[in-house]
Amino acid sequence: MQTNPTHSSLVAVGDSFTEGMSDLLPDGTYRGWADLLAARMAARSPGFRYANLAVRGKLIGQIVDEQVGPAAAMGADVITLVGGLNDTLRPKCDMALVRDLLTQAVERLAPSCKQLVLMRSPGRQGPVLDRFRPRMEALFAIIDDLASLHGAVVVDLYGARSLADPRLWDVDRLHLTADGHRRVAEAVWQALGHQAEDPDWHAPIPATPPPGWITRRTTDVRFARQYLLPWIGRRLTGRSSGDGLPPKRPDLLPYEDTAP
* Tens digits of residue pLDDT in 152-199: 999 999 999 999 999 999 888 789 999 999 999 999 999 999 999 999
Helices (H), 10-164: 16-19, 33-44, 60-63, 69-74, 85-88, 95-109, 127-150
Spatial CA neighbour of 122 closest among 82, 156, 87, 92: 156
* Amino acid, single-letter form, for residue 25: L
The overall average pLDDT reported for the chain is 88
% residues pLDDT > 90 (the chain): 70
pLDDT at 189: 98
The answer, yes or no, to whether residue 68 has pLDDT greater than 80, is yes
Contact 52, 18 (CB under 8 A): yes
CA atoms within 13 A on the CB side of 128: 16
Q: What does the alpha-carbon distance between residue 34 and residue 184 come to, in Å, rounded to a whole number?
A: 9
The answer, yes or no, to whether residue 245 has pLDDT greater than 60, is yes
pTM beyond 0.85: yes
pLDDT tens per residue, range 30-58: 999 999 999 999 999 999 999 999 999 99
Residue range 7-23: average pLDDT? 96
Helix (H) or strand (E) holding 182: helix 178-191
Tell me the β-bridge partners of 52: 12, 249
The answer, yes or no, to whether residue 204 has pLDDT greater than 70, is yes
% residues pLDDT > 70 (the chain): 83
pLDDT tens per residue, range 85-117: 999 988 889 999 999 999 999 999 999 999 999
